[in-house]
Amino acid sequence: MRKILIVGLSILCCQLSFSQINNAQEDSLNLRKLYDMSLLNGKSYQWLEHLSNDIGGRLSGSLNAQRAVDYTKKELETLGLDKVWLQPVMVPKWVRGAKEFAYIETAPGSTRNINITALGGSVSTPEGGAKAQVIEVQGIEDLARYGEEQIKGKIVFYNRPMRADLISTFEAYGGCVDQRYSGAAEAAKYGAKGVLVRSMNLRLDDFPHTGTMSYGELRPSQRIPAAAISTNDAEYLSGLLKIEKKAEVYFKLNSEQLPDVQSYNVIGEITGSQFPNEYIVVGGHLDSWDVGDGSHDDGAGVVQSMEVLRLFKESGIKPKRSIRVVLFMNEENGLRGGNKYAEVAKEKNENHIFALESDSGGFTPRGFSFEARQDQFDQIVAWKPLFKPYLIHYFEMNGSGADIGPLKNGEIVLAGLRPDSQRYFDHHHSENDTFDQVNKRELELGAATMASLIYLVDKYGISKNSGVSKL
Amino acid sequence: MRKILIVGLSILCCQLSFSQINNAQEDSLNLRKLYDMSLLNGKSYQWLEHLSNDIGGRLSGSLNAQRAVDYTKKELETLGLDKVWLQPVMVPKWVRGAKEFAYIETAPGSTRNINITALGGSVSTPEGGAKAQVIEVQGIEDLARYGEEQIKGKIVFYNRPMRADLISTFEAYGGCVDQRYSGAAEAAKYGAKGVLVRSMNLRLDDFPHTGTMSYGELRPSQRIPAAAISTNDAEYLSGLLKIEKKAEVYFKLNSEQLPDVQSYNVIGEITGSQFPNEYIVVGGHLDSWDVGDGSHDDGAGVVQSMEVLRLFKESGIKPKRSIRVVLFMNEENGLRGGNKYAEVAKEKNENHIFALESDSGGFTPRGFSFEARQDQFDQIVAWKPLFKPYLIHYFEMNGSGADIGPLKNGEIVLAGLRPDSQRYFDHHHSENDTFDQVNKRELELGAATMASLIYLVDKYGISKNSGVSKL
């Protein structure tokens, strides 16, 4: 409020200098130019069409992931950037194997198939599958209540749904995903035979949603298979268990963890004209899950980030600082690409001042969230009026992105594009994350919004550590 | 800015009274309650499912329109409102007849089918269809340039696309829709044989989009048939005409204007406890085009408006003023319902202080636009902070809704819900406006946002004419 007051007083007292007025006009015109170019002659949608329809799902270590590396490198090389290169990184290679199969059996021969998908990192079931009675729980904390006596030999069915009353679906996801990530490791400690987890999806439908999970410190012999079950089937199973407590579930997973393989982050750079040693990163992650084609997660972020650099080149705006697009490998099940990029940046003592990630879907952009010092955040929020014509209104301190997280050092500002989140988890990590679910204009608005923020950060820099409270 | 300054100073000087603080807390809690109830136990989606899937497209005067009247009246009667009634209104009855058919012919036997749909109100082609060479124009203003010599006997093809650089797709629509509404009437004056209009759609796809058109003062004998062509086929035809100027188009429409028929607005009311003679209206339109099922246009607005009254009843919030849900008939091709409601309100001297329409699709709500005096607008904008947790940020003086327009009298405040507009014209007036394209949460967020504004208007009223500049 103090800030608004000061701005208000400044305007009332006509204290804006001519250079401030000129800057505001130039910025306003340049943002308009970036939006126009993205909406009228953008390339993001065309790139996404290729990544999604011609390549498809890009699981780390897969042939498709390598094809995506090759394709995006080749496309970046057409943009007239100063440098394009591959940054080697070893990635885990988990493979799904043949499609999963599962059914509920209430009596011999009386079965109903259910839709499941192995969680990323899960071991397979035994050769003949796993079959057992089911115990439904509302979360990990229920395990201690039931104890080994009631859990041993059973399939633990985690069924706490995402909260529909939360406006941010990411917040609802955050309140549930422990079931998926740690559910198997915890249930194994009580002797469970396997785990089924209600899909992280607010909608009732038939798509199971995969995602990464961890066995924590469990030895290989202790690990149990874990799969996601569609929300419709979770509702069905839960209803059935109320009247038929002894119903059994059979499921068969064919997944396997193979040795790590070589992969790459794809990087392109426009070298800064005045401060080439100050780096600004914009990126998304090139890998995806294998069940859909990864259009929203995170094909959208990849092509939007590429588009940011293309817009700079096409518009003739010459950045003062070095702007890098980084297409990170292995966000989904390892974060190896993000870690590697930060590791190399640190080794080379590169001064990264700002990093922006787009990894929340290709929906209508609403704004950004930040990890920054208060003085840095204040500096950025002062640009908010420039975004009003584009209906960009959300500027909050509320996290950034997984791949850029490892760059955090108390000085760099991290940011995440925040698109409308309502539809995201309808598609996230499921067969249903496909190109036809991305709207061209929404994708392009996102790219222009990212380019606009990068333009402002490049032009004005980021305020240096002022001794004000750190993160 | 002055306003922000005053608010800022007020807070700084701790001048907020206890009653103001209590009101703000109560309002904040009540908005939360309305959102929770809509998201957790809403009925809007279930109602829309019936309207869309069980009834379907609801063209004025059709059996389906009558079924929608009966269904919504019956549902409103279950809500415990004080009154539910039908308001009779005569409506035009235009029928499409058998599905349209069209092709391009470059040589005898060398044809390509194209996707068209008769514009609402168009006459049919002659029994055997219409076939002629095509003249492409970028708008009505081109007709004078080509003149009768080049137009007579031809099919005029209006092909000015919606502007992709505009952020509001409604603004882009406004810049094109004259081709659809008046294109036939104007082309007929130059002797054109018929009219094809590029669909009002920003996306390239195969769906033709219908919509209302007018022959203005033309006598029946002068009227020529008019159809919309899909954007893909418009692009194809335009490209073809560059290399094959003599290509002909054949099209066949089977539409007919029948005599007016009896229909109804559906109205429900919660009578105000303190000011029963002050009326607040919330509504959408019950009719739709016939090509899709009218889920976004305007099934969404209908069920959201019904939900507003349900939320009041369920939450136990007893309005001081009388709140009416009005489901208007015949917005699409006549506005008879909107005109009738205003006419009766005027006859009865009912004091309407506020009307809110939802007729921009069931997408994530972004805010509202208003038609109001400046003092009234200032009063409403002061409520904006209450909406921040729900990411509702758009409060602008920028129109309201077609059906409530006839209520305008210089005193009533008119408002329109403004959802995200990016996807709207992908669906608008096409086969593609279907239930599966509506996201449950987005619909429910819209209903809660509307209920919240109605709650505040009811609680605080609307400032009376202060002598400040009128609309």
Q: Which residue out of B331, B332, B357, B431 is catalytically annotated?
A: B331
Whether A79 contacts A313, CB under 8 Å: yes
Contact A423 B442 (CB under 8 A): yes
DSSP annotation string for B387-418: HGGGT--EEEES---TTTGGG--SSSEEEEEE
How long is chain B? 471
Helix (H), strand (E) at residue B281? strand B275-285
For the stretch B18-63, pLDDT in tens is: 888 899 999 999 999 999 999 999 999 999 999 999 999 999 999 9
Judging contacts by C-beta atoms under 8 Å, the chain A residues touching residue B442 are 422-423
Cα(A116)–Cα(A229) distance, rounded to whole angstroms?
Answer: 4
Whether A414 contacts A359, CB under 8 Å: no
Cα(A280)–Cα(A267) distance, rounded to whole angstroms?
Answer: 12
A/B interface, count of CB pairs below 8 Å: 83
Whether B327 contacts B266, CB under 8 Å: yes
Q: How close A330 comes to chain B (CA, Å)?
A: 31
How long is chain A? 471
Chain B contact residues (CB < 8 Å to A): 1-2, 4-5, 8-9, 11-12, 35-36, 39-40, 164-165, 167, 169, 202-203, 364, 366, 389-391, 393-394, 420, 422-423, 426, 439-442, 445
State the alpha helices, DSSP H only, in B269-349: 300-315, 336-347
Judging contacts by C-beta atoms under 8 Å, the chain A residues touching residue B422 are 364, 439, 441-442, 445
Q: What DSSP state is assigned to residue A188? A: H
Cα(B158)–Cα(B135) distance, rounded to whole angstroms?
Answer: 9
Quick one: pLDDT at residue B465? 66
Quick one: pLDDT at residue B16? 67
- Quote the distance between the C-alpha of residue A290 and its chain's center: 15
Judging contacts by C-beta atoms under 8 Å, the chain B residues touching residue A436 are none
Going across the sheet that includes A101-107, the strands are: A110-113, A101-107, A248-252, A130-137, A155-158, A194-198, A226-229, A116-118
Tell me which of 3.90.1150.10, 3.50.30.30, 3.30.1330.10, 3.40.50.1220 is the CATH number of domain A97-254: 3.50.30.30
**What's the mean pLDDT when you consider all of chain A?**
95
Tell me which of 3.90.550.10, 3.40.630.10, 3.30.390.30, 2.40.50.140 is the CATH number of domain B2-92+259-460: 3.40.630.10
Contact B164 A40 (CB under 8 A): yes
Q: Which residue out of A331, A332, A357, A444 is catalytically annotated?
A: A331
A64's tokens: 């498709």
**Residues β-bridged to residue B194:** B155
Among A1, A169, A441, whose Cβ lies nearest the Cβ of B422? A441
Cα(A93)–Cα(A90) distance, rounded to whole angstroms?
Answer: 9
HSE-CB of A186 using CA atoms within 13 angstroms: 22
Judging contacts by C-beta atoms under 8 Å, the chain A residues touching residue B39 are 164-165
Cα(B397)–Cα(B373) distance, rounded to whole angstroms?
Answer: 9
Which chain A residue shows the shortest CA-CA distance from B449? A167
pLDDT < 70: residue spans in chain B = 1-16, 465-471
* 3-state DSSP assignment of residue B317: coil
Q: Where are the domains of chain A?
A: 2-94+259-460, 97-254
Q: How close A87 comes to chain B (CA, Å)?
A: 37
Pairing of strands A275-285, A351-357: parallel
Cα(A118)–Cα(A123) distance, rounded to whole angstroms?
Answer: 9
Which chain A residue shows the shortest CA-CA distance from B36? A165
Q: What is the CATH number of domain A2-94+259-460?
A: 3.40.630.10
Q: How close A5 comes to chain B (CA, Å)?
A: 6
Cα(A237)–Cα(A232) distance, rounded to whole angstroms?
Answer: 9
Quick one: pLDDT at residue A13? 45
pLDDT one digit per residue (tens) for chain A, 471 residues: 444 444 444 444 455 678 888 999 999 999 999 999 999 999 999 999 999 999 999 999 999 999 999 999 999 999 999 999 999 999 999 999 999 999 999 888 899 999 999 999 999 999 999 999 999 999 999 999 999 999 999 999 999 999 999 999 999 999 999 999 999 999 999 999 999 999 999 999 999 999 999 999 999 999 999 999 999 999 999 999 999 999 999 999 999 999 999 999 999 999 999 999 999 999 999 999 999 999 999 999 999 999 999 999 999 999 999 999 999 999 999 999 999 999 999 999 999 999 999 999 999 999 999 999 999 999 999 999 999 999 999 999 999 999 999 999 999 999 999 999 999 999 999 999 999 999 999 999 999 999 999 999 999 999 886 544 333
- Asked if omega into A436 is within 30° of 0 (cis), the reply is no
Contact A423 B439 (CB under 8 A): yes
Q: How close A422 comes to chain B (CA, Å)?
A: 7
* 3-state DSSP assignment of residue B154: coil
Work out whether the CA dihedral B135, B136, B139, B142 comes out positive or negative. negative
Q: How close A40 comes to chain B (CA, Å)?
A: 6
Which chain B residue shows the shortest CA-CA distance from A424? B439
Name residue A356's amino acid.
L
Contact A36 B165 (CB under 8 A): yes
Cα(B89)–Cα(B328) distance, rounded to whole angstroms?
Answer: 10
Contact A39 B439 (CB under 8 A): no
Residues 6+ apart with CB under 8 A from A98: A254
Judging contacts by C-beta atoms under 8 Å, the chain B residues touching residue A33 are none
Pairing of strands B194-198, A116-118: unpaired
Judging contacts by C-beta atoms under 8 Å, the chain B residues touching residue A385 are none
- Quote the distance between the C-alpha of residue A13 and its chain's center: 45
Cα(B163)–Cα(B174) distance, rounded to whole angstroms?
Answer: 10
Contact A39 B165 (CB under 8 A): yes
Active site residue A331: yes
B231 class by beta-carbon count within 10 Å (0-12 exposed, 13-18 middle, 19+ buried): buried
**Residues β-bridged to residue A84:** A268
Beta strands per DSSP E along A349-393: 351-357, 365-371
Quick one: pLDDT at residue A469? 39
Q: What DSSP state is assigned to residue A212? A: B
Contact B389 A167 (CB under 8 A): yes
Contact B442 A426 (CB under 8 A): no
Contact B165 A441 (CB under 8 A): no
Among B11, B12, B165, whose Cβ lies nearest the Cβ of A40? B165
Quick one: pLDDT at residue B9? 44
Which chain B residue shows the shortest CA-CA distance from A418? B391
Contact B5 A1 (CB under 8 A): no
Whether A435 contacts A322, CB under 8 Å: no
Q: How close B300 comes to chain A (CA, Å)?
A: 16
Give the per-residue SS3 of chain A.
CHHHHHHHHHHHCCCCCHHHHHHHHHHHHHHHHHHHHHHHHCCHHHHHHHHHHHHCCCCCCCHHHHHHHHHHHHHHHCCCCCEEEEEEEEEEEEECCCCCEEEEEEECCEEEECCEEECECCCCCCCCCEEEEEEEECCCHHHHHHHHHHHCCCEEEECCCCCCCCCCHHHHHHCCHHHHHHHHHHHHCCCCCEEEEECCCCCCCCCCCCCECCCCCCCHHHCCCEEEECHHHHHHHHHHHHHCCCCEEEEECCCEEEEEEEEEEEEEEECCCCEEEEEEEEEEECCCCCCCCCHHHHHHHHHHHHHHHHHHHHHCCCCCEEEEEEEECCCCCCCHHHHHHHHHHHHCCCEEEEEEECCCCCCCEEEEEEECCHHHHHHHHCCHHHHHHHCCCEEEECCCCCCCHHHCCCCCEEEEEEECCCCHHHHCCCCCCCHHHCCHHHHHHHHHHHHHHHHHHHHHCCCCCCCCCCC
Q: How close A426 comes to chain B (CA, Å)?
A: 9
Among A39, A390, A422, whose Cβ lies nearest the Cβ of B364? A422
**Exposure class string for A280-298: b at 16+ Cβ within 10 A, else e:** bbbbbbbbbbbbbbbbbbb
Q: Determine which of A10, A14, A364, A398 to mutate to test the interface with B (most B C-beta atoms within 10 Å).
A: A364
B48's tokens: 């829309």
Name residue A106's amino acid.
T
* 3-state DSSP assignment of residue B145: helix
Judging contacts by C-beta atoms under 8 Å, the chain A residues touching residue B11 are 1
Contact A202 B393 (CB under 8 A): no
Centre a 10 Å sphere on the Cβ of residue A185 and count the other Cβ atoms it contains.
20
Among A4, A11, A366, whose Cβ lies nearest the Cβ of B8? A4
Q: What DSSP state is assigned to residue A119? A: P
